[in-house]
Structure 1
Amino acid sequence: MRLIKKLVHPDVKAVTGAILTRRAARGIVMRDTSILLLFTERYNDFSFPGGGVAEEEDLIDGLRRELEEETGASNVRVQRNFGYIEELRPHRRSGFELMHMTSHFFFCDIDPELRATRMEAYETANGMRPLWVELHEAIAHNRGVMKRLEATMGLSIQRETFMLEELVNDLENAV
């Protein structure tokens, strides 16, 4: 697996205090120039479907579970690993100051029809929903949120937007 980038969130001023370590698996599901993303109303952003994987859980199993829960995808077929990002960002919950997250991105295929989602309560409360969106539109939207420094902007928008742009570069270089 290739390391794509190490990101340090702009709000991290020093690496001190307790650090939570977390692994995540995220899916890249494309149909022509559209990509299956999650739109979250609370943060007004697009993000890749996927999320935290328990320590004892296999990354691929966790990815399939997350895609099914968050998007209603069925028959998830993991095609290949795209790479991973290491990220250090604020995390002021459960006695931790920072979170060190490793997000693994995988190209996936799914069956055409999306079923009902099985979101967690906080995801539903945040207004998270799966959407097919044109890749460049998702990037432009997230870039606009960051440029305006919207008050509701979430911590993951930098990572997600970087990866969307990295994906465009990868797809253009493949042609």
Structure 2
Amino acid sequence: MQQLKTLVHSGININQGTSFTRLTARAIVIKNNKILLMYTARYEDYSLPGGGVDEGESIEQGLIRELNEETGAQNIQVIKPFGLYEEYRPWYKDDFDIIHIKSYCYVCSIADELGKAQLEHYEQQNGMSTKWVDINEAIAHNERTLANSEKQGLSILRETFLLKRIACDLL
């Protein structure tokens, strides 16, 4: 899969401390010039649907499961790989210092109608919801959040980068 970017968050040295790797899968679904995204009220940002790949799952199996759980998408077809975004972030628990996240992004197709999402408790508490959005509006929104909000999460840099690459390469 094509390497899109490797980001090391400020304040960490990847050569010091302990780290672990988390594999994630992210879906790119585009219909009628809109992209399917997750909006998180807590962080005021848009992100691609997806999440962690469970032990024993392939990346594609994790992608399909996460896309279904977060959005209610049905009849999911993985069309092609888009790219890999890697990041190193500080870890917030005592067992490790650094988390290395590998986000595998795939272009997917889904049925026209979304079913019921099955968000995890923390996703519900963070105010996550599924939205079809014009990609340029989502990019502009995330850029405003980066510039003006103190609520932003660590993933907004990744998500804004990916949205820009998708707009450039796929639309």
Residue 86 (structure 1) shift:
1.1
Residue 171 (structure 1) shift:
2.5
- What one-letter code is carried by the residue in structure 1 that aligns with 2:115? R
- Distance in 2 between residues matched to 1:68 and 1:94, nearest whole Å: 32
Q: Which moved more, 1:55-64 or 1:65-74?
A: 55-64
What do you get for the CA RMSD once the two structures are aligned? 1.1
> Paired residue for 2:60?
60
CA displacement 1:77-118 (0-9 Å, x = unmatched): 000000101111111125221110110000000001111110
> Paired residue for 1:171?
170
| Alignment TM-score, normalising by the size of structure 1 | 0.93
- Percent same amino acid at aligned positions? 45
- What one-letter code is carried by the residue in structure 1 that aligns with 2:151? T
- What one-letter code is carried by the residue in structure 2 that aligns with 1:127? G
| Alignment TM-score, normalising by the size of structure 2 | 0.96
- Distance in 2 between residues matched to 1:53 and 1:20, nearest whole Å: 14
2:12/2:90 contact within 8 Å kept: no
Task: State the 4+ residue runs in structure 1 displaced beyond 3 angstroms.
Answer: none
Count of paired positions = 170
Residue 20 (structure 1) shift:
2.1
- Distance in 1 between residues matched to 2:54 and 2:18, nearest whole Å: 19
> Paired residue for 2:124?
124
Give secondary structure in 2 for the equivalent of 1:103: strand
Q: Does 1:44 align with 2:48?
A: no
